[in-house]
Amino acid sequence: MKYILSPSLLSADFTRLERDIRICEDNNVPYLHVDVMDGHFVPNISIGVPVVKSIRQCTDLVLDVHLMISQPERYIEAFAEAGSDIINIHYEAEGDKKSLLKKIRAMGRSPAITIKPDTSYTEVLDLCEYVDMFLVMSVEPGFGGQSFIEKTLKNVEGLAQYRAKNNLSYDIEIDGGINASNLTKPLDAGANVIVAGSAIFGAEDTAAEIQKFKEIMSRYEVNL
Ligand code: DX5
Ligand code: ZN
């Protein structure tokens, strides 16, 4: 299994996005996590299609786009065309999830389903054949810098057990409140894609913080 760090640009310096992206590239980070918020599904507004397009022009890293929007069906095409590689839609959003995930796949992008902390993983198991990844939120979506919600580890564990039992290979991503001190918790539970925003871009030395994360994650790669 591959262990992947996906730094969330929500906590990057928006006036120096390119610099922050280069720091990720220079430290061999494979993914960039891009948080899209509509002010409706979540109480915050962040970035949209034009910014994803600009980020795409600036890097070849995998763009892991997290759509925190009520009506993903209206925007999937635009985000795919803007250059998203992975498109995460929320289970709690509007629309038929199977057909939305199929649409993402048909556009040559990687489909993923996201669950909020109060949603149980059991509700999304029947979507497993349509996704490459499940994204487990470990904070209420909307803002960076919140505290990790412990009970969400149950969702990671449940998805990991189901994956092993059924010989499946989807990725399990965790997002919210992760830092170098609590990183082993989601890794022990079975997550293999780690999002971190404020811990990485809020650090005094972002490159050093990335290396710290990678060192901890590499212990898991060796073990498997
Ligand atoms: C929250 C976003 C997260 C956020 C994580 O709604 O989905 O990706 O940027 O930030 P931290 O790591 O600071 O909790
Ligand atoms: Zn996110």
- Amino acid in position 174: I
Taking the CA of residue 200 as reference, the ligand 1 atom at the shortest distance is: 12
The structure's pTM equals 0.98
Average pLDDT, the chain: 97
Taking the CA of residue 66 as reference, the ligand 1 atom at the shortest distance is: 7
Q: Write out pLDDT tens, residues 147-181.
A: 999 999 999 999 999 999 999 999 999 999 999 99
Q: Is 197 in the pocket of ligand 1 (CB under 6 A)?
A: yes
Please list, residue by residue across 161-179, b when 16 or more beta carbons sit within 10 angstroms of its beta carbon and e when fewer do: ebbeeeeeebbbbbbbbbb
For the annotated catalytic residues, the residue numbers are 35, 175
Kindly tell me if the per-residue pLDDT of 224 is higher than 80. Answer: no
CATH number for the domain spanning 78: value is 3.20.20.70
User: Quick one: average pLDDT of 9-32?
Assistant: 98
User: Quick one: average pLDDT of 51-73?
Assistant: 98
Domain that holds residue 133: 4-222
Number of structural domains the chain divides into: 1
Positive or negative, the CA dihedral 189, 185, 155, 10 is negative
Q: For residue 207, what pLDDT is reported? A: 98
Q: For residue 223, what pLDDT is reported? A: 63
Testing ligand 1's pocket by substitution, the residue of 5, 6, 8, 66 carrying the most ligand atoms inside 8 A of its CB is: 8
